[in-house]
Chains A and B, each alone.
Chain A
Amino acid sequence: MTTTRLLFRLALRSLSRRKARAALLVAAIFLPLTMAVTASVLATTSQPTAETATAQRLGQAGALLVNQDLVGSDGVDAALRSAESALAESLGREVGLVPEVTTPLPARLGHREVASYGHGLDLDEAIHQGRYLLVEGRHARRGGEVAVSVEVADRLDLAVGSTVQLGDRREEAIVTGIVSDAGSTTRSFVVVDVATAASHSPETTRGEEDATGSTYAGTVAWYAREEIVQTPELAAAGWQVRSRGDALLDHGHPGSEGAGSLLLVIAAAVVAEITLVIFAVFTVVVRSTARESALLAAAGADPAARRRVVTYQGVLLGLAATVAAVLVGVLAARLLSDPFAASQGQIWGPIRLDPVQIGLLVLLGLAAPVVAARTAAEPAARLDVAAALRGGDLPGSSGGKGFRPALTAGLVGSALALALGGALFAAPPLVAGAALLLVVAAGTGMGALTSRVARFADRLPLVARLGARSAARTPSRTTAVAVVLVSTTVLAGVVLVGMGALTRKVEDAYVPQVPHGSMWVTFSAPVGDATLAALAEAAGTDEVIPLHPARTPPGTWRDHPEGAGALLLATPVEDCVDQGAGDLVHVDDCLAHTGYPQWRTEVVVTPERHLPALLDRPATEAELSAFRRGAVLVLDERLHHSGTATARVEGSESDGSAPDTLDFEAVHAPVDVAHAQTPMALLSPFAAADRGLTWDTDPYLVYVPAEDISRDTEDRVRALLTADVGQHYGLGVERGPAAHRVLATSTAVVAGALAVLGGTLALVVTALSVSETRRELATLAAVGASGRFRAAAVAAHASAVTATSIGLGLLVVVVLAPAVVVALEGGWTALPWWGVLGAALGCWCAATLTAYLGSRWSVRG
Chain B
Amino acid sequence: MKRLIKASNYKLRKNSSIKIGAAATICVVILGFLLFYAALHILTGPMIEAAGGDETDLNAFDDIHLLDCAAIALSLMQVLAIVLAIVITLLISGERKNGVYALMAAKGYTRSQIYADKLYEACLVCLVLYVSYVAAALLIGGILWHGPIETDMVTGFIKIFFLMAFMYMAIAAIYLAVAMNVRNGGAAMAINLLLVLVLSTAVTAIDTGLFDGQIILRKWWIFSAIEQYAYLEITTKEIIISILNILIYGGAGIVAGGAVFAGTELK
- Do the two chains bind? no
